[in-house]
Amino acid sequence: MNIYEIAKPREDNESFVTLHETPTLKIEAIRSRLTHPGELYDQEEDEWVLLIRGTAELEVEGNIRRLKEGDCFFLQRHTRHRVLKTSDDALWIGIFSS
């Protein structure tokens, strides 16, 4: 699989492709194309994300974080967060651990 070939979701959506999964670890490729705020997350697992293409704006516990290609961010479990908007070509790697 080539993660750069994952199809873009339709506007104001995200798509998730599981690349690898074990009982305690999941690695996802995430394509985002948001012009409006996405779903508010409060997850049971820790998440580390790497934005490998595009730009994104996150809301994390009420604070705004602007990310560009190459930026990474760690979200401890139960940290309330959402993607506010992304560029049209945003591509992430998300690593989730329990």
20 vs 29: CA distance, rounded Å: 10
Mean per-residue pLDDT of the chain: 95
DSSP summary character for residue 24: S
How large is the average pLDDT for residues 62-90? 96
13-97: which CATH number, 2.60.120.10, 1.20.210.10, 3.40.50.720, 3.30.1330.10? 2.60.120.10
Q: Whole-model pTM?
A: 0.90
16-36 residue pLDDT tens: 999 999 999 999 999 999 999
Write the burial class of residue 50 (CB in 10 Å: 0-12 exposed, 13-18 middle, 19+ buried): middle
CA atoms within 13 A on the CB side of 7: 3
